[in-house]
A and B are shown apart, each in its own frame.
Chain A
Amino acid sequence: MPIGVFRSARRLIGTHAFRLAALYFLVFAASVLGVLLFVYLTSADFVERQTEATLDAEITGLAEQYAQRGLSGLIQIVAARSAGDRGDAMIYLVTDPDGKPFAGNIAAWPPGVPLHSAWLSFTLERVVNGRPELHPARGRLFIIPGGYRLLVGRDVSDGAAFRGQVRATLLWAGLVALGIGVIGGTVMSRNLLRRVEQVNRTSERVMAGNLSDRVPLRGTSDEFDQLALNLNRMLDQIERLMTAMREVTDDVAHDLRTPLSRLRTRLERALVPPSEAGAAAGSAQNEAIRAAIEEADRLLATFNALLRIAELESGARRDNTEPLDLAEVARSAGELYEPVAEEKGFTLNVLAEPGVRIRGDRHLLSQALANLLDNAVKYAGGGELELRVFTESGQAVLEVADRGPGIPEADRQNVLDRFVRLEPSRTTPGNGLGLSLVRAIVQRHDGSVTLDDNTPGLRVRLKFARLPT
């Protein structure tokens, strides 16, 4: 289960939709956080500056009073201002040089406060609703000549509360904004990628042979519509070309095969019928005509094979696939070839794992297999010939392995091409199209062909997507 989750997470991360959404979210989140941080800092700063300005003004005012009315005047004013709760959270205290309070609204010099610095931060114990609370405070000190000291301060717990409020508000605003960012990113990337996906799906259908499929347009004439329009034009052109090619192929089949067919027919007519001639039927002339007919047949077989490959590769065929058991295909072909293999000195073994099912065209797969067995019987010379069906890393594999001379590594890809034959002298009959046809058939099934060393010999593997059992 955790592996599954991990895997699907990796698949998710791999998608462009996810990356796009993540990027969108990151940019969005960064800018939202930036704005909120700025708001928070400036508002906190503003409260602090206001406190400091108030304290400055108060100190300046009291200093002026002192200058005009002396210490006693100052004490009077301080006493007056300290009387009663004015609700502005101001703190006043005048002490003598020993720190003994003269006047003010706090009982004693706050503990831990130095006696000499200009700006002070301290904590103050206050009784609110009958309970003592510790309140943060800011203050300024004014040294009166003669060692007296004046402390003007302000309880800043309100400011701190305000800051807390701002912080909480901004936090919530931020969370909401990030939530919107996630949704926005997902929606945006979905929208974008849905259109990419449309293009993808269309091209898949086209590749599967449905040439008339087109990318849907939205009529918004944006970049995607432009892309779709261009792709559709390209598909139009491809379809035109493919149709033309198919027509040419059919025409060639009809126009060239018909005269060839006639040639063959005339040769056949030229043969002296055995009923008429007895001895003449076996004459040298008859033999020459027979050889010519065989030659014409070979030419026609090559021609047919070429047309079939072209047809398979053009993707024009209708879908004749059905779920089928590879073991049955292998056994049937194995049975057909077993006598001829035995006659040529092979031991043909069919080792088929049951239940290996793929979606395929039985006729085509049988032909591919027959071509591989033909090749093995023709070139491998004898020995073990194995026909195997098994599953390898989730794929269905159909394998033909012989003990013959094999194919040098450098040539293994080439032999799949048309007319490539490894015998320079070309003495063995064959047209060099067998493996090309195998490849065309396998590609038609979205499978792959690999040629390997069977140490010694050749091992050909056809791999297909396996159907779940």
Chain B
Amino acid sequence: MKILVVEDDHDTATYLTKGLSESGYIVDCAGDGREGLFLASSGGYDAMVLDRMLPGMDGLSMLGALRAAEIRIPALILSALGSVDDRVKGLRAGGDDYLVKPFAFSELLARLEALLRRGAGPATATKLRVADLELDLLTRSVRRAGKAIEVLPREFRLLEYLMRNAGHVVTRTMLLEHVWDYHFDPQTNVIDVHISRLRQKIDKSFDHALLHTVRGAGYCLRAPE
């Protein structure tokens, strides 16, 4: 998997390159918008991480030019501007996700991987399965080891999101955005309690836990090894 990083701040660029390489990606780096546009249009990237404020050509203009040329590389926008407004502007310009600086690398990685998966997974599946946990999108029912589990509508959506990203880390912010459509971080750890309730339902009376907490990052739903 090849990732393009367009970032003018040297430290951040190095950090991203190093972190992504360690996670198994091939990384190219561009220091300004023009170079980024050139590299991105030459093709071959699976995703790109794009700073919004860049010298020469800003990130959104660059993205606009790419999209106008029908180049659809998934783009994660990085920006110090964090209001919903800025986010909407970024997504309208053709961004696929938006991350406000400063960010935890784990958050960036989780989001980038979610972007990379987006194109790959079977979007039309009616059933999701992780180990013996099964979620039926048509009947909106959940079963584990053949046993029906009662979940509330919101818990269903939470579980659906976790299962769609099974095996990968999902951050609290990602959950707030995708399950609740809230684009801010509450001060209280509201998500943790939702997760522990869900865990009560899907993990408690079974031998192997599926829903894991990843310290300093978020949660991960995965089959036991």
A residues whose Cβ falls under 8 Å from a Cβ of B: 250, 253-254, 257-258, 260-262, 264-265, 268-269, 271, 290, 293, 296, 300-301, 304, 307-308, 311, 317-318, 320, 332, 335-337, 339-340, 343, 361, 363-364, 366-367, 370-371, 373-374, 377-378, 429-430, 434
Chain-A contact segment, one of B64-72, B115-123, B190-198: B190-198
Residues of A within 8 A of B80 (CB): 253-254, 257-258, 261
Contact A258 B12, beta carbon cutoff 8 Å: yes
Would you call B101 an interface residue if the criterion is a C-beta within 8 Å of the partner chain's C-beta atoms?
yes
Contact B193 A339, beta carbon cutoff 8 Å: yes
Q: How many A-B contacts are there with CB distance less than 8 Å? A: 102
Contact A262 B11, beta carbon cutoff 8 Å: yes
Instruction: Identify the closest chain A residue to B184 (Cβ).
Output: A367
Contact B187 A430, beta carbon cutoff 8 Å: yes
**Cα(A269)–Cα(B216), bound, Å:** 13
Contact B102 A264, beta carbon cutoff 8 Å: yes
Could you say which of B104, B188, B197, B216 contacts A377, with CB atoms under 8 Å apart? B188
**Can you list 9 A-B contacts with CB-CB less than 8 angstroms, sorted by A residue number?**
A253-B80, A265-B105, A307-B82, A317-B85, A320-B84, A363-B84, A371-B187, A373-B188, A378-B188
Residues of A within 8 A of B185 (CB): 301
- Given the interface pairs A363-B84, A364-B84, the reply to whether A290 lies near B216 with Cβ below 8 Å is yes
**Cα(A271)–Cα(B22), bound, Å:** 14
**Cα(A419)–Cα(B103), bound, Å:** 25
- Given the interface pairs A258-B101, A260-B102, A300-B102, the reply to whether A374 lies near B187 with Cβ below 8 Å is yes
Contact B102 A261, beta carbon cutoff 8 Å: yes
Q: A254-B80, A265-B11 are in contact. List 6 more A-B contacts (CB 8 A).
A: A265-B102, A293-B216, A304-B100, A336-B182, A374-B186, A374-B188
B: contact size bracket: 35 or more
3 closest Cβ pairs, A-B complex: A261-B102, A339-B193, A340-B193
Could you say which of A253, A261, A301, A320 contacts B85, with CB atoms under 8 Å apart? A320
Contact B190 A339, beta carbon cutoff 8 Å: yes
Taken residue by residue from 105 to 128, chain B's Cβ proximity to chain A (1 for < 8 Å, 0 otherwise) reads as 100000000000000000000000
Contact B184 A262, beta carbon cutoff 8 Å: no
- Given the interface pairs A264-B102, A290-B216, the reply to whether A308 lies near B182 with Cβ below 8 Å is no
Contact A318 B189, beta carbon cutoff 8 Å: no
Could you say which of B84, B194, B216 contacts A339, with CB atoms under 8 Å apart? B194
For the complex formed, measure the closest distance between the CB of B106 and the CB atoms of chain A, giving whole angstroms: 8
Contact B188 A363, beta carbon cutoff 8 Å: no
Would you call B212 an interface residue if the criterion is a C-beta within 8 Å of the partner chain's C-beta atoms?
no
Contact A265 B12, beta carbon cutoff 8 Å: yes
